[in-house]
Amino acid sequence: MTTVALKPATMAQALGRALRDAMADDPTVHVMGEDVGTLGGVFRVTDGLAKEFGEDRVTDTPLAEAGILGTAVGMAMYGLRPVVEMQFDAFAYPAFEQLISHVARMRNRTRGAMPLPITVRVPYGGGIGGVEHHSDSSEAYYIATPGLHVVTPATVADAYGLLRAAIASDDPVVFLEPKRLYWSKDTWNPDEPQAVDPIGRAAVRRHGRSATLITYGPSVPVCMEAAEAARAEGWDLEVVDLRSLVPFDDETVSASVRRTGRAVVVHESGGFGGPGGEIAARVTERCFHYLEAPVLRVAGFDIPYPPPMLERHHLPGVDRILDAVARLQWEAQS
Amino acid sequence: MTVMEQRGAYRPTPPPAWQPRTDPAPLLPDALPHRVLGTEAAERVDPELLRRLYAELVRGRRYNAQATALTKQGRLAVYPSSTGQEACEVAAALVLEERDWLFPSYRDTLAAVARGLDPVQALTLLRGDWHTGYDPHEHRIAPLCTPLATQLPHAVGLAHAAHLKGDDVVALALVGDGGTSEGDFHEALNFAAVWRAPVVFLVQNNGFAISVPLDKQTAAPSLAHKAVGYGMPGRLVDGNDAAAVHEVLSDAVAHARAGGGPTLVEAVTYRMEAHTNADDDKRYRGDSEVEAWRAHDPIALLEHELTERGLLDEAGMRAAREDAEAMAADLRERMNQDPALDPMDLFAHVYAQPTTQLLEQEAQLRAELDAEARHHENEHESEGTAR
Ligand SMILES: Cc1ncc(C[n+]2csc(CCOP(=O)(O)OP(=O)(O)O)c2C)c(N)n1
């Protein structure tokens, strides 16, 4: 066995590397969006790509999200694999018409004749002190649209592997990038970056026996921290990182909840009509007889994303997760 | 008998009714951006107006410098400077009557301040204590808009509504060159023209949309040329010439007020600073380009005109600088105080009648804050006993 050299890398670097490798491997992969060329993207994820692959494959588009995604549809129809960047979560909304009316359903309406292998990269979520319209968690809109895959990495290795898988997918993938984790570092082997499991597999990030925290994206590190803190209270928490919201890995999630008998879903988008409701319902349907307590949700408030100086009150933090964990002592309470 | 069977009897005639407009010339912009300063036209401009513009430009530049300094001290989350573009900002504010409305985008704090908004209130979006720190009705300034071009249909709708009500109100909407590529720009212009809405669109073409230069944004001869396709006049103006921008916008506002419908104005200017303090403009443009524009500075242009004609002396310039300095000092001082925030405000303005789930969440946060406060109190007490 050879030992691999692990080096620190950020999630943004791993994403850039995934784009680079995908472009090098497959000449049909094209990157397009606002400021992705000369500037390398406002988060520098596409840094260096224009130099390496030229403007025809790494394109600074006019400033028009519906146009970016709409032209990507046509490019995909003609055999290319566009990877489009939406600059920020809330600026993807002008493109929703294209996403919902065309991208998500082209395969279906053409009886499989016209699949659209498009990857839509969307930096999402709060916690970076962004001004209005720079912190939305829009995953509920995406997962409510049949025909789209929706994935979101929480680690550097997953950022690489999931993005490669998304670009290779013959179906459209909404690739949600947790902005808050762009600069998070991990040790990673940049010389031999690894593919991950196919899209749709969750990962158990921490094993535990007393309850399962089900989470994804920016909330994964928060849950890991909460699990550490919970040890002091005598709780041994398992943390499941979904990685993919669509398809949803019922198997891994149910297996975990059956082992622990208790579950809390954690995400920063609003709870009402949010992904947590769907997840809690699925867990209840599959694990009812194993549950010692109702499945709880810890989510952002049901408010428009607040201004930066107040966002800490909105984002689910360790304390709110621990409170929910305490409420899982259902029998003792009732 | 079908049309095909009729063939022999068919006599071609011109198509009925509709013909394309054959004289778009009145809608087309001039070949070169309109200029006033340094030309004979300048002599016809009211000296008082020139002095007023000058004072506002000097204030505006100082405001930009102060706000940028506040980002370095961590007092502002981010600031998109309009240094170099002050002439557009100031003219946009000054051409409007009190009853008119301004629809700014995120870079247009100066226009809002020149219209009378409190400089601190204008910065709440960028400071991060609330999204819009003022009541839009007070000065008739819509919230500074961050999603690009989305304020343009709002301006059209407001102008249209005012017109329907019989009020002679005009809306002036500001957008960047990049924003003209958005679908909302197209829809807004189209609605405005079809409804003959009393609205003026001012595009500040400052050369870049973050890093993307104009030639990657559009292949149109100019952005003002876009007007002709909608059936409204397009006007091209030197965006660093405050008198020219004021004149062109005044004409457009008067035209709109008189029932003539919308105008698209493109002001050709340049963004002297990076997109925001967080941007690195070295990646996409060279110093020489920036320097070339520095030689066409809006303040210097006007100052030259005024001093040449004896309308401004050293004392006048000093007075303008002192006034700007006082504004900056006041801004600095007030921005250096921590804003008093109430986290319960998170729930205060979501609905007129809060939903049950919001009331629950409100109670949850209240309990958390109370617990936090008790925790701090206990800490203080135990500190006290230890001493
Ligand atoms: C719908 C939308 N897409 C993307 C952005 C991100 N963004 C903010 S400013 C900007 C460039 C705008 O350029 P321009 O319209 O020329 O105005 P300027 O910044 O030059 O004043 C971009 C892409 C946004 N705010 N809204």
Residue A269: how many other CB atoms lie within 10 Å: 24
Which has more confidence, A253 or B14? A253
Measured in Å, residue B76 CA sits from the centre of ligand 1 at 19
pLDDT of residue A35: 98
User: In this predicted model, what pLDDT tens digit does every residue of A180-217 receive, in sequence order?
Assistant: 999 998 888 877 787 777 899 999 999 999 999 999 99
Average pLDDT, chain A: 95
Q: To 10 degrees, the CA torsion angle through B25, B30, B31, B35?
A: 170
Report CA torsion sign: B301, B306, B307, B313.
negative
HSE value, Cβ hemisphere, 13 Å, CA-based, for B109:
29
User: How confident is the model over B309-329, as a mean pLDDT?
Assistant: 97
Measured in Å, residue B315 CA sits from the centre of ligand 1 at 40
pLDDT > 70 fraction of chain A, expressed in percent and rounded: 97
Report how far residue A8's alpha carbon sits from residue A156's, in angstroms, rounded to the nearest whole number.
9
What is the pLDDT confidence band of residue B387, given thresholds at 50, 70 and 90?
Answer: very low
Residue B282 pLDDT exceeds 90:
yes
- Is residue B304 part of the annotated active site? The answer reads no
Residue B36 contacts residue B244 (beta carbons within 8 Å): yes
Interchain contact, A130 vs B77, CB within 8 Å: yes
Helices (H) and strands (E) in chain A — how many of each? 13, 14
User: In this predicted model, what pLDDT tens digit does every residue of B155-191 receive, in sequence order?
Assistant: 999 999 999 999 999 999 999 999 999 999 999 999 9
Give A-chain residues touching B365 at CB under 8 angstroms: 301, 313
User: In this predicted model, what pLDDT tens digit does every residue of B190-218 receive, in sequence order?
Assistant: 999 999 999 999 999 999 999 999 999 99
User: In this predicted model, what pLDDT tens digit does every residue of A116-166 receive, in sequence order?
Assistant: 999 999 999 999 999 999 999 999 999 999 999 999 999 999 999 999 999
Report how far residue A23's alpha carbon sits from residue A81's, in angstroms, rounded to the nearest whole number.
10
Average pLDDT, chain B: 94
Report how far residue A296's alpha carbon sits from residue A277's, in angstroms, rounded to the nearest whole number.
9
Q: Whose CA is nearest to atom 19 of ligand 1?
A: B209
Task: Give the closest-approach CA distance of B277 to chain A in angstroms.
Answer: 13
Residue A213 contacts residue A226 (beta carbons within 8 Å): yes
Measured in Å, residue A274 CA sits from the centre of ligand 1 at 29
Report how far residue B119's alpha carbon sits from residue B179's, in angstroms, rounded to the nearest whole number.
25
Structure tokens at A230: 């919970």
> How far does CA A67 lie from the centroid of its chain?
24
Place of tokens 């749709």: A200
Report how far residue A128's alpha carbon sits from residue A184's, in angstroms, rounded to the nearest whole number.
12
Q: Is B241 in the pocket of ligand 1 (CB under 6 A)?
A: no
Testing ligand 1's pocket by substitution, the residue of B107, B148, B277 carrying the most ligand atoms inside 8 A of its CB is B148
Residue A264 pLDDT exceeds 60:
yes
pLDDT of residue A290: 98
User: How confident is the model over B312-340, as a mean pLDDT?
Assistant: 96
User: How confident is the model over B88-112, as a mean pLDDT?
Assistant: 98
User: In this predicted model, what pLDDT tens digit does every residue of B17-27 receive, in sequence order?
Assistant: 888 877 889 99
Report how far residue A188's alpha carbon sits from residue B152's, in angstroms, rounded to the nearest whole number.
47
Residue A1 pLDDT exceeds 50:
no
With CA atoms as reference, the chain B residue closest to A62 would be B217
pLDDT of residue A334: 52
| Number of CB pairs, chain A paired with chain B, less than 8 A apart | 111
Q: Is the Cβ of B286 closer than 8 Å to some Cβ of chain A?
A: no
Q: Whose CA is nearest to atom 13 of ligand 1?
A: B209
Catalytic residue among B51, B196, B225, B284: B284
HSE value, Cβ hemisphere, 13 Å, CA-based, for A144:
10
The residues of A carrying an active-site annotation are 134
Q: Whose CA is nearest to atom 12 of ligand 1?
A: B209
User: In this predicted model, what pLDDT tens digit does every residue of A283-318 receive, in sequence order?
Assistant: 999 999 999 999 999 999 999 999 999 999 999 999
Report how far residue A134's alpha carbon sits from residue A124's, in angstroms, rounded to the nearest whole number.
8
Residue A201 contacts residue A147 (beta carbons within 8 Å): no
Nearest by CB to residue B209, choosing from A63, A272, A319, is A63
Classified as helix, coil or strand, B1 is: coil
Interchain contact, B284 vs A39, CB within 8 Å: yes
Structure tokens at A214: 């089900």
Residue A327 pLDDT exceeds 90:
yes
pTM of the full structure: 0.92
Q: Is B379 exposed, middle or buried (0-12, 13-18, 19+ CB in 10 A)?
A: exposed
pLDDT > 90 fraction of chain B, expressed in percent and rounded: 90
Nearest by CB to residue B147, choosing from A37, A67, A90, is A90
Measured in Å, residue B156 CA sits from the centre of ligand 1 at 20
What is the pLDDT confidence band of residue B345, given thresholds at 50, 70 and 90?
Answer: very high
Q: How far apart are the first and last CA of chain A?
A: 55
Measured in Å, residue B77 CA sits from the centre of ligand 1 at 17
From the list B264, B307, B301, B242, the residue with the least C-alpha distance to B86 is B242
Residues 6+ apart with CB under 8 A from B294: B272
Give me Rg for the CA atoms of chain B: 26
pLDDT of residue A333: 56
Report how far residue B343's alpha carbon sits from residue B369's, in angstroms, rounded to the nearest whole number.
9
Q: Is A61 in the pocket of ligand 1 (CB under 6 A)?
A: no
What is the pLDDT confidence band of residue A95, given thresholds at 50, 70 and 90?
Answer: very high
Report how far residue A158's alpha carbon sits from residue A298's, in angstroms, rounded to the nearest whole number.
24
With CA atoms as reference, the chain B residue closest to A320 would be B368
Structure tokens at A284: 């209840």
Report how far residue B256's alpha carbon sits from residue B258's, in angstroms, rounded to the nearest whole number.
5
Q: Is B67 in the pocket of ligand 1 (CB under 6 A)?
A: no
Q: Is B107 in the pocket of ligand 1 (CB under 6 A)?
A: yes
Q: Does A247 sit behind a cis peptide bond, omega within 30 degrees of 0 on the bond before it?
A: yes
Interface of A with B (CB under 8 A): 34-35, 37-40, 42, 60, 62-67, 90-91, 93-94, 129-134, 271-272, 301-304, 306-310, 313-314, 319-320
Report how far residue B275's alpha carbon sits from residue B253's, in angstroms, rounded to the nearest whole number.
29
Residue A3 pLDDT exceeds 80:
no
pLDDT of residue B384: 60
Report how far residue A203's alpha carbon sits from residue A223's, in angstroms, rounded to the nearest whole number.
14
Residue B2 pLDDT exceeds 80:
no
Closest ligand 1 atom to residue B147 Cα is 26
ipTM value for the complex: 0.88
- Is residue B54 part of the annotated active site? The answer reads no
Amino acid occupying residue A201? R
HSE value, Cβ hemisphere, 13 Å, CA-based, for B349:
10
- Is residue B275 part of the annotated active site? The answer reads yes
From the list B116, B106, B170, B173, the residue with the least C-alpha distance to B139 is B116
Report how far residue B4's alpha carbon sits from residue A148's, in angstroms, rounded to the nearest whole number.
48
Closest ligand 1 atom to residue B82 Cα is 21
Measured in Å, residue B178 CA sits from the centre of ligand 1 at 6
Residue A103 contacts residue A97 (beta carbons within 8 Å): no
